[in-house]
Amino acid sequence: MSTRRDHRQKSAKKRRNKVTAFEIVPKHRLKLVFYIICFGLFSLMGRMAWLQVIQSPQLEAKARLRQTKRTKPLGTRRSIVDRRGRLVALDEERFRLWAHPKYFNFLGDQPSLVRTPKEVSKKLSDILEISQENLLDLMQGRSSGVRLVDGLNSEIAQEIKKLGISGLDLEPYPQRMYPQGKLFANVVGFLNQERIPQAGLEQSLHEKLLRVEQSRTMRRGADGTPLPDDLAPGIFNSDDLRLHLTLDARLQELALNALVSQVETWKGKKGVALVMDVMNGELLALASTPTYDPNNYWNFSPSLFREWSVQDLFEPGSTFKPINLAIALQEGVINSGGKVNDTGKMIIGGWSIFNYDKRANGIIDFARVLQVSSNVGMAKIMNKVDSKKYWNWLRRLGVDSKPQTDLPGAIPGQLKNKHDFTSMPIEPVTASFGQGFSLTPLKLAQLHALIANGGYLVQPHITKGFYSGDVNTSPTLINKQKILKSDVTHTILNWMESVVEHGSGKGVKTSGHRIGGKTGTAQKAINGVYQPGLKICSFVAILPISDPRFVVLVVVDEPKGENAYGSTVAVPVAKKIIDGLIVLERVLPSNEKKDLQPARE
Q: Find all residues with CB under 8 Å of 71, minimum gap 6, and list them.
A: 215, 216, 218
- Of 321, 252, 304, 311, nearest to 538 (Cα)? 321
562-to-284, 315, 524, 525, 533 alpha-carbon distances in Å:
33, 20, 15, 18, 9
Distance CA 368, CA 371 (A): 5
Active site residue 318: yes
User: What DSSP designation does 583 have?
Assistant: H
HEC-encoded secondary structure of 281-344: CEEEEEEEECCCCHHHHHHCCHHHHCCHHHHCCECCHHHHHHHHHHHHHHHCCCCCCCEEEECC
- DSSP structural state of residue 102: G
Q: At what angle do helices 571-584 and 249-265 cross, to 10 degrees?
A: 160
Amino acid symbol at 328: A
Pairing mode of beta strands 550-557, 529-543:
antiparallel
Distance separating alpha carbons of residues 163 and 108, to the nearest angstrom: 11
Q: What is the four-CA torsion angle of 363, 366, 370, 372, rounded to 10 degrees?
A: -10
Q: Distance of CA 57 to CAs 233, 362, 413, Å? A: 26, 100, 67
Q: Are 391 and 424 in contact (CB under 8 A)?
A: no
Select from 458, 460, 459, 503 the least CA-distant residue to 322.
503
Q: Are 263 and 289 in contact (CB under 8 A)?
A: yes
* CB count in 10 Å sphere of residue 449: 24
Task: Kindly list the distances between the CA atom of residue 91 and the CA atoms of 88, 211, 470, in Å, as whole numbers in the listed order.
Answer: 11, 11, 21
549 contact partners, CB below 8 Å, separation of at least 6: 277, 278, 279, 452, 543, 585, 587
Is 161:170 a contact under the CB 8 Å cutoff?
yes
Asked whether the beta carbons of 578 and 588 are under 8 A apart, the reply is: no
The whole-angstrom separation of Cα 137 and Cα 143 is 13
The Cα–Cα gap between 288 and 534 comes to 20
Q: Closest Cα to residue 260, out of 292, 302, 303? A: 292
The CA distance from 428 to 586, in Å, is: 42
Annotated catalytic residue within 318, 432, 538, 567: 318
Phi, psi (rounded to 5 degrees) for 70: -105, 125
CB-count exposure of residue 13 (10 Å: 0-12, 13-18, 19+): exposed
Neighbours of 510 (CB within 10 A): 16
- DSSP tag of 475: P
Catalytic positions are: 318
